[in-house]
Amino acid sequence: MEWQPLQPELRTLSGAIVDAAFQVHKTLGPGFLESVYEHCLCHELLCRGIAFRSQLSLPILYEGVSIEAGLRVDLIVDGRIIVELKAVEVMHPIYTAQLLTYLKLTGIRLGLLINFNVPLIKDGIRRIVL
């Protein structure tokens, strides 16, 4: 399958998510638990009229059987962008691998990995496109 560029509306939507994350970080700063940032980001998205689902269970299809393996996606925004949130000192490569796995399992092409535990939120955002 040939790589296709992202649709312009996905760029706009991802920009709105990043802007919401900026607002949360500007208000709270670093130092809170991931769950606090998730609740506040969900509030920001709601205020902006952006559709999302949070803490979705993601089953694994293994030999034709759907298996609940404990995978949970933090946010799926508008059914088209996965947002994985962190509040960690160091962004380990396993977090990127986790997001890539979620993208592959769902067929969604765009993901945002956002770490709120940074002095400047722009340094904590990673965009991944399949």
pLDDT of residue 125: 98
| Dihedrals phi, psi of 25, to nearest 5 degrees | -65, -40
H/E stretch holding 36 reads helix 34-47
| Dihedrals phi, psi of 44, to nearest 5 degrees | -60, -45
In single-letter form, the type of residue at position 7 comes to Q
- What are the mean pLDDT values of the chain's consecutive 10-residue runs (130 residues total)? 79 97 98 98 98 95 90 96 98 97 95 98 96
What's the first-to-final CA gap in the chain, in angstroms? 11
The β-bridge relationship of strands 125-129 and 52-57 is unpaired
For the entire predicted model, the pTM comes to 0.93
pLDDT of residue 70: 86
pLDDT of residue 4: 78
Domain limits of the chain? 8-129
